[in-house]
Structure 1
Amino acid sequence: MTSTTATTTTTPINATINNNDYKNHDTEDIYDSNDNNHNHDTHDTDYNHGLICSEGDDWREHRKFVLGFMRDHGMRTAATRGVMEPKIHAVADLLIQELKETQGAAVNISGKLLHHVGNTMNQLIFGLTYLEEDPKWRWLRHLLEEGTKLVGVAGPLNFLPWLRFLPRYQRVIKFITENQSKTHQEYQKIIDLHEEASLVTSCDDPVDGGAEENVTETTVGGHEANTHQLTEGDGGTASSPQLPQHIIGAYVKERRLRGTDMGSFTYEQLHHVAADLFGAGSETTITTLKWHLLNMALFPEAQFKMVSHSETKVKAEI
């Protein structure tokens, strides 16, 4: 049996990696506002919504929902890893190929990682991917980068709430809350698309009221959405013949099964769950990979030793 493994490369990592962030975004306007009407701490921006800043029954219910979805996509047993691993390996292969094409020139590794890791999360959460230069995707990546920095800046508000009256922190909270609202509007457009596709499927097949939408070519903002049905040929065993391929699809299905009593499964809650998963899944992975690449560049002997070990293991499994 052939095991799906990531492609490795013996090309050494260039030690002159350029970690400069995107230069074409003017972030000075973040701190130019004189609006003093935002009296929040960082938790107020999403109090009791999502997974990170929620508590009680809502948190338990959505934690259970997300964990159930993730277990079906590779977090449970070796048998389910085939659902997610091929997608991750495909992204890794594409990134490696793009780095090879630079022929040793300095590269903005932060931008490359944010694009590819972010698109992996896009596929998992929303069922779509973006081209690297897509204006909307560039804007969303910019918000992720700046939002992550500013949440750290606003951290003291959680311990010293009176700081929210200082102009500096008011401007930070204004940026976070306003762009959170804009991002959630984009999320809702994607949700509406999947809701419509789900309704069409339910009408066409009333016997199977809980099936995931079977859309082979759907566009969201002009982009193809990956919403194909899972089959045995996709590299894994699904817990259901029509396993939802992304969080939005699973959430739409759960709402449909609940009928008129949605409970905590609201659109607002989904916006925050999606944002929490995207931010946490992207930022932590990117930071880990950047440190790994830096260490490999600084210690080439460890790099070649790791590559040699990986190639030996890959050959043994084929």
Structure 2
Amino acid sequence: MSYDELFTNVAALAVFVLVLLLFVLRSTSRPAHLPPGPTPWPLIGNFPSLRGDLFTALQKLRSMYGDVYLLYMGSMPTVFVHDLDNIREVLVTRGDEFADRPNLMIAEKISKGKGVANTSGEVWKQQRRYTLHTLRDFGVGKSSLEQKVMEEVEVLIQCLRDTGGDTFPMGKLLHTSVSNVICSIVFGNRFEHEDPKFVKYMKAIDENIESVGFAGPINFLPWLKYIPGDFFKYHRTLRNVDMVEAFILDEIKSHKETLDPDEPRDFIDAYLSEIARCQDDENSTFEDEQLLKVIGDLFVAGTETSATTLRWALFYMINYPDVQTKVRAEIHSVIGRGRFPTMADRKQMPYMEATLMEVQRCGDVAPLGVPHAASRNTSLAGYVIPKGTTVITVFSSLHSDPNIWKNPKMFDPSRFLDSDGNVIKCESLLPFSAGKRVCLGESLARMELFLFLTSMLQRFVFKAPKGMTSLPEERLLGLTQSPVPYELRALFDE
């Protein structure tokens, strides 16, 4: 090798090392006035700080850096927020400043900047306002929706009776029943539980709810999607989305062929009429693909949270049989056994109300909520939060805080009752988030939880499979935090 070639190679190596050093320094430096946090690693950021149990790791970081700290998820700065005052600051007091959604790769790939759940700005405002208004028109939040919910309750009760007290898995049955309520609002009809097309649709949704937990790191480390074997289930997730959307598109096509703009039968009819009404408005965001994405968001908001919470409810009824006995006694005292419950019964059933609240606290279905992003340069707890920064509200820190709840790991509905047996409302219980981006399906979910659980406990005693006295408390963190799939027995009690 000549001197010139040697000099060229050494110079190239020096430039490479310098560039790498600058990248490392930039990746690990923390601009002044940002929230505190650990020094990030190059490329992967602070992911090593989250190894092991996620919530134990977050609590450890909280003890080191305070209630507001910053982690780099890959190269994406992400602020984690604990404590009720800080969380309410983000969601309610200054909700406009934290109302955006971050640019997460999987969410962007699925939503394509459309829908309600993963959009920001004017698109989000138009779509959310219209969706809420139209859902109310079709009964959400009103007593008129009870009939649709109770239709599914009665089918579910018959399915439970058909088990004959034998051991069976409850998850699929609950998910299908709750999903059918949304189907009746959006599509104008329900589906039989064994309808092959509907079964395929539900299977794809169920798989994605579980696989989101595996695919999550790809949001921050996009190169992971190229690892052979689809280890993070990224490609399977996208295939399932295509399958679900094909099902929805068939329904939209069928509605277009039979649409009467003057007599909307369901959400799809109403939305199609809105598209036609706004076709000459250049500022309108209403079009066919928006409708497709909004429907997908409705199924997530109106199905998954409720179905998972009901699975937690039955889990706790089995593991705490004394609570189950008290709830059933109140049901039989107020409603009896001869009729189904109505929402009007709820005010007379404080122990059932307290039980549902405790299920939501202990089950902690959405422990990290849905990520927010700063819509402009702002601040929080004295720290600078630049525009676009991802912000995660750690609800699990509220729901399990020993400073708020006595013996937080104990399932105890009485914590929500005063000495006179009246329900105590608690600001630290936020199962549906709060503020401008509170869950779209909250009012529907509350109705479903009461009517489904009350109806089931009115007629059945739930027990663990024979040979077991309780169910193991193991958790899966996917789209929601759910109990591991379990089996039970539903013993009909006339």
Pick the TM interval, shorter chain: 0.5 to 0.7
Aligned equivalent of 2:262: 211
**Residue pair 1:154, 1:169 contacting (<8 A) in 2 also:** no
Partners of 1:101 and 1:189 lie apart in 2 by 32
Aligned equivalent of 2:397: none
Letter in 1 for 2:145: M
CA apart distance, 1:107: 1.9
Letter in 2 for 1:65: Y
**Residue pair 1:41, 1:164 contacting (<8 A) in 2 also:** no
Higher helix share: 1
Aligned to 2:174, which of 113, 123, 130?
Answer: 113
Higher strand share: 2
CA apart distance, 1:65: 0.9
Q: TM-score, normalised by structure 2?
A: 0.44
Aligned equivalent of 1:92: 153
**Residue pair 1:50, 1:272 contacting (<8 A) in 2 also:** yes
Partners of 1:165 and 1:149 lie apart in 2 by 20
Aligned equivalent of 1:247: 267
- Relative to structure 1, the CA distance from residue 169 to residue 261 in structure 2 (aligned partners, 3 Å threshold; closer, same or farther) is farther
Q: TM-score, normalised by structure 1?
A: 0.67
**Residue pair 2:201, 2:247 contacting (<8 A) in 1 also:** no
**Is 1:257 equivalent to 2:277 in the alignment?**
yes
Aligned equivalent of 2:466: none
**Residue pair 1:124, 1:247 contacting (<8 A) in 2 also:** yes
**Is 1:290 equivalent to 2:311 in the alignment?**
yes
Partners of 2:189 and 2:151 lie apart in 1 by 15
Q: What does 1:62-73 align with in structure 2 at a 5 Å threshold?
A: 62-73=127-138
Aligned residues: 234
Aligned-residue identity in percent: 29
Q: More displaced, 91-100 or 135-144?
A: 91-100
**Residue pair 1:255, 1:265 contacting (<8 A) in 2 also:** yes
**Is 1:267 equivalent to 2:288 in the alignment?**
yes
Partners of 1:170 and 1:290 lie apart in 2 by 28
Q: What does 1:1-318 align with in structure 2 at a 5 Å threshold?
A: 41-43=105-107, 44-75=109-140, 81-169=142-230, 172-198=233-259, 201=260, 210-213=261-264, 227=265, 246-261=266-281, 263-314=284-335
1:160-191 CA-to-partner distances (Å, cap 9, x unmatched) read: 23323323558722222233223222212211
User: What stretches of structure 2 of length at least 5 have no aligned partner?
Assistant: 1-103, 346-494
CA apart distance, 1:70: 2.6
1:4-55 CA-to-partner distances (Å, cap 9, x unmatched) read: xxxxxxxxxxxxxxxxxxxxxxxxxxxxxxxxxxxx9312232311122211
Letter in 2 for 1:42: I
Bigger radius of gyration, 1 or 2? 2
1:126-169 CA-to-partner distances (Å, cap 9, x unmatched) read: 11222111111111111011111122211112222332332355
Partners of 1:75 and 1:125 lie apart in 2 by 11
**Residue pair 1:91, 1:116 contacting (<8 A) in 2 also:** yes
Structure 2 residue matching 1:42: 3-state secondary structure? helix
**Residue pair 2:134, 2:270 contacting (<8 A) in 1 also:** yes
User: What stretches of structure 1 of length at least 5 have no aligned partner?
Assistant: 1-39, 202-209, 214-226, 228-245
**Residue pair 1:118, 1:282 contacting (<8 A) in 2 also:** yes
**Residue pair 2:148, 2:184 contacting (<8 A) in 1 also:** no
1:32-84 CA-to-partner distances (Å, cap 9, x unmatched) read: xxxxxxxx9312232311122211111111100111123334455xxxx2221
Q: What is the root-mean-square deviation of aligned Cα atoms in Å?
A: 2.4
Structure 1 residue matching 2:168: 3-state secondary structure? coil
Which gives a bigger RCO, structure 1 or 2 (Cα 8 Å, sep 6+)? 1
Partners of 2:206 and 2:287 lie apart in 1 by 27
Partners of 2:222 and 2:125 lie apart in 1 by 27
Aligned equivalent of 2:404: none
Partners of 2:263 and 2:295 lie apart in 1 by 18
Partners of 1:101 and 1:308 lie apart in 2 by 24
Q: More displaced, 288-297 or 182-191?
A: 182-191
CA apart distance, 1:292: 0.2
Partners of 1:179 and 1:134 lie apart in 2 by 18
**Residue pair 1:42, 1:151 contacting (<8 A) in 2 also:** no
